[in-house]
Amino acid sequence: MSIIDTIINTINYINALVWGLPAVIILAGTGLAVSVLSGFAQIRYFRKALKNMVYKGTGAKGEIRPFAVWWAVMGATVGVGNIAGVSTAIHLGGAGALFWMWVCAILGMMTKAIEATLANYTKRVTPEGRVEGGTPYYIRLIPVVGPALAVIFSIFTFIAAFGIGNMVQANSVAHAAEYIAGMYKGSPEVARLLAGILMLVFTALVVRGGLKRIAEVSNYLVPFMVTWYIAVSIIALVIYAENLPLTIREIFTYAFTPQAAAVGLAGWVVYSAIRCGFC
């Protein structure tokens, strides 16, 4: 066995271990537990949460307007992860897997709400007036093992930023550029190179401005992206409207087979992983 084969087999083993049944149990189980304990607050307070998210004022201590943060989150939600997770679930588990992705999405809303609440509760303002916070800040408050877990989380998040947070999206853009170049008899290699250079330049310009600039840029760009994404989805639904009754019937008919349930949960894991790396 070559070194490359050994590396691939090792990565596949770790991937199955990390993103397999343990991840499904932990993620779905945590979502169910906090949902029950909160009385399914994600449903009871949905309208109030939506009202707070689109509030355009400034927070008491925050650097970023809540509305800008909302658009930034929307930008991370729709797109590559949304397509990859759903398509993975349908391919492996059939239409019934969608039902369980819906269930997991509702449970995941409460998990995300708890994460955001803890991050907001433990955030701090530096002497320079910069707001700092996030998962490592509240993880380190756990007795004994907290500081070590915060460091480990930060390291894994740093690593994930290259793969889940960047390479997946950059690869999708490069493939799209190659496809367009092929349509117009252009060079796929040149298109791929230009796409990479443009992404590098624009990303550098935005990132140099820090978190505030990232959120503000998202506030201007994401509305167009989300609008087109939703518009194309609606167009697809209209074009294939005659298939909707059959699709809905199949979703609920095959939702309660073991394969659909298991793969639906797995698809949600893939979607969550690609979307934000569980950060």
Cα distance between residue 164 and residue 131, in whole Å: 25
pLDDT value at position 238? 94
Q: How does DSSP classify residue 242?
A: G
User: What's the confidence (pLDDT) of residue 279?
Assistant: 37
Residue 205's contacts (CB-CB under 8 Å, 6 or more residues apart) are none
Q: Give, in degrees to the nearest 5, the angle at Cα 50 between 49 and 51.
A: 90
pLDDT value of residue 33: 93
Structure tokens at 43: 């449903």
Structure tokens at 277: 């790396």
Q: What is the pLDDT of residue 18?
A: 72
The SS3 call for residue 124 is strand
Q: Report the alpha-carbon distance of residue 229 to residue 238 in Å, rounded.
A: 14
Report residue 184: phi and psi, to 5°: -105, 25
What pLDDT was estimated at residue 210?
74
Give every residue of the chain whose pLDDT is below 50, as ranges: 274-279
What pLDDT does 117 receive?
Answer: 85
Q: SS3 string of 25-94?
A: HHHHHHHHHHHHHCCCHHHHCHHHHHHHHCCCCCCCCCCCCHHHHHHHHHHHHCCHHHHHHHHHHHHHHC
Q: Give yes or no for a contact between 271 and 84, defined as CB atoms under 8 angstroms apart.
A: yes
Domain ranges (residues) in the chain = 3-276
pLDDT given at position 63 = 57
Cα separation, 232 vs 12, in Å, equals: 35
Distances (CA, A) of 109 to 41, 112, 169, 197, 201: 9, 5, 24, 36, 34
DSSP E strand boundaries for 100-257: 124-125, 131-132
Output the pLDDT for position 276: 40
Backbone φ, ψ for residue 272 (5° rounding): -65, -40
Residue 134 has a CB neighbour count (10 Å cut-off) of 18
